[in-house]
Amino acid sequence: MTQTQATDKRVALITGCSEPTSLGALLALELAKVHGYRVFASARRVETLKGLAAEGLDILELDVTKADSIEQATKTIRRAAGRLDLLVNNAGVAGMSPLLDTSIDALRAMIEINTIAPLALVQAFTPLLVRGSEAAGRDAVIANVCSTAKDGLPFIGAYGISKSAATTLSDVLRREVADLGIKVVTLEFGTIKTQMSSGDKVFDLIADRPASGLYKDWDVVEATVKGQMLRSHGLAPQATTVTRRVAAALATSPPRKIWAGVPSFMSRWIIPLLATWFLDFVFRRIMKVREMVRKPVVRGE
């Protein structure tokens, strides 16, 4: 492929495309089939990307936590396309457990994937993004998948911590790279109909039961969290609907933030206006925190 051919169409890299019905895979297909991007769809295990390869997308083995894997992916895209117009940091893991019982090692691993990896990818691919911006005569785009879990829902605190930091990362990057011809978009997602929201795929931080002994057995806490997830799942928009809207925005004139899913409306417009004591009451009530404690201490609220 010549360099001229390589720069004829915009180029996108999307991480976390392993599940066929995942946001990453669906977004990759939408960008390629509808908006004409050359899409590099990546995952830690390349064999999970066979369906996307069959659709004509470029597939890429990429472990976002490994520096050598990121370096190899950078070289591959530089050789194959010579530029990058869109980087979507979608790879991530979720998890649940009371913070008092969360494995510190598992929390570190979650932060590594959800927070540190996106920055590592941005650092590696920014030269190609600058090249893409110059070739296209328009801003290149970095899109970071964040979450309304940053609002502080009990029992998914580790995930919320990692995504809150990811949101700050995205905000700071947006301000730092604006003059380099790069737009940064924060995707503030609530629950969307995916395997994760259905409860079929969850990254458990502890394997057995809360080690502190202060909460009920793990299966009781787990059932409560998954029950809330399933309730949100029932109200959530289809992943195809969300990815269609997101792809259209990223391909045309992306805003600084895109909100989607349940309860993104609440997270965007309502929660910032509510008193802290009221949010504490509501979140504890939703997640049945008092019922999860083995011997609750009865005091005035």
Contact (Cβ atoms closer than 8 angstroms) between residue 33 and residue 25? no
Provide the angle, in degrees to the nearest 10, between the axes of the packed helices 157-177 and 104-111.
30
Contact (Cβ atoms closer than 8 angstroms) between residue 15 and residue 121? yes
Please tell me the distance from the alpha carbon of residue 32 to that of residue 69, in angstroms, as a whole number. 24
Q: Which of 155, 159, 189, 218 is catalytic?
A: 159
For the stretch 104-122, what's the b/e string if a residue is b when 16 or more beta carbons lie within 10 angstroms of its beta carbon? eebbebbbebbbbbbbbbb
**DSSP state for residue 19 in the 8-state scheme:** S
Residues contacting 209, CB < 8 A, separation 6+: 217, 218, 219
Please tell me the distance from the alpha carbon of residue 132 to that of residue 84, in angstroms, as a whole number. 5
Identify any residues that bridge with 191 across adjacent strands, giving them in sequence order.
Answer: 262
Interior angle at CA 16, CA 195 and CA 123, nearest 5? 150
Q: Is 37 a catalytic residue?
A: no
Catalytic residues: 159
